[in-house]
Amino acid sequence: MHGNKTEEDDDDFFSRVKIKTEEEDDDLISLDFVERDESDEDTEEASESERGKTEEYPEIKEQIYQDKLATLNRQLQQLKDGVHPEYCRRLCKLEAMYQERLKMNIMGVAYLRSCVERDYALDMQAAKNHYEQKKSETLQKMIDKLLDSRKAIEADRYAIELTGDSTESKPIMTRKLRRRPNEPLPEKPEKRRKVLAPQVNYLLDEKEIEADLKAIMSGRNLSSIKKPTIIQNTSPVPNPQYNPPAGPPIETKIEDGKLLYEKRWYHRGQPVFVEGQFMPKYSAIISAVGTEAVFVKKLTDNTKHRIFLNQLSSGTMTIKRRS
């Protein structure tokens, strides 16, 4: 019984739900019809408003077109007159840029001109200094050359005075012309005669000469043949002012006709001072340079003296240059 009751209750519940659902469907259908009626009314009203707007749109579009065209024409006329605001603004900007660029160009030109002028002044000063330096060097070289030439000429003159040699004169070049007909033959110049050497005349005969030679060899003094001679004391007087150089022997040698003494070269015709242990100091000129000795000529009395290399190396004699 209990089971039957439960089934009945379920059937009642489902039946009530079904009825309620049907009622709700009827309500929805009725609402749908109502909404459809309202939407139809709204559609009719919207179509009428759109129809009015469609009629007004061409007029508005034409008005906008005319306004824009007028604005563009006005701007074009302003551009032609040069009073357009945007054009004036850009023109002012370009003018400012032009003035700034012009100013920079002027400053650049002035700077480059100053650089060029400075370089020009420096080059001119350098050229002037170089000219003055070369001028002084050339002048000094010419002076030294002339002084050397004068010294060489003076040395040659002293050498001529000492040796009596004349300078070699160059032969005069003569042109040989053809002899004309019937022209007398030129006279031959007389030949210079050779100067004969002086002959030695012996005043003693051969016997006396042999006797003298025997006496010399044997060391005898023949009073009958030789006359008595007085022997003078020729021992030299020492020079008290002479100070011989101390130390090892001085390097002295002769090469190519020149004397090397105290690391200096002396040549023929050079003025010098000569001083010795037994000889006072005097001025002289080197007259000749041999292989083992040097010949000097005293200027006061033109007497010649011979100085050996061993005397110079040992310090017995000294030679100094004289300016």
CATH of the domain at 261: 2.30.30
Q: What is the C-alpha separation between 63 and 17, in angstroms, rounded?
A: 66
Pairing of strands 264-266, 271-276: unpaired
Q: What is the C-alpha separation between 73 and 85, in angstroms, rounded?
A: 15
Closest among 313, 171, 175, 167 to 244, alpha carbons compared: 313
Number of domains in the chain: 1
Q: How many residues does the chain have?
A: 323
* Residue 289 domain boundaries: 252-321
Identify the H or E element spanning 288. strand 279-289
Task: Write the pLDDT tens digit of every residue in 194-226.
Answer: 555 444 455 556 667 777 777 777 664 444 444
* Intervals of the chain under pLDDT 70: 1-56, 161-207, 218-248
| CA 26-30-35 angle, 5° bins | 145
Identify whether the C-beta of residue 294 lies closer than 8 Å to the C-beta of residue 259: yes
Identify whether 120 is part of a domain.
no
Identify whether 315 is part of a domain.
yes
Task: Write the pLDDT tens digit of every residue in 280-321.
Answer: 888 899 988 888 888 888 888 888 888 888 888 888 888 888
Identify whether the C-beta of residue 287 lies closer than 8 Å to the C-beta of residue 297: yes
Identify whether 170 is part of a domain.
no
Q: What is the CA radius of gyration of the chain?
A: 72
**Phi, psi (deg, nearest 5) at residue 279:** -145, 130
Identify whether 8 is part of a domain.
no
Identify whether 287 is part of a domain.
yes
Identify whether 317 is part of a domain.
yes
What is the reported pTM?
A: 0.28
Identify whether the C-beta of residue 295 lies closer than 8 Å to the C-beta of residue 244: no
Query: Residue 159: what pLDDT?
Result: 74
Query: Residue 179: what pLDDT?
Result: 63
Q: How far is C-alpha 298 from the chain's CA centre? A: 53
Cβ neighbours around 307 below 10 Å, total = 22
Identify whether 306 is part of a domain.
yes
Identify whether 87 is part of a domain.
no
Query: Residue 126: what pLDDT?
Result: 95
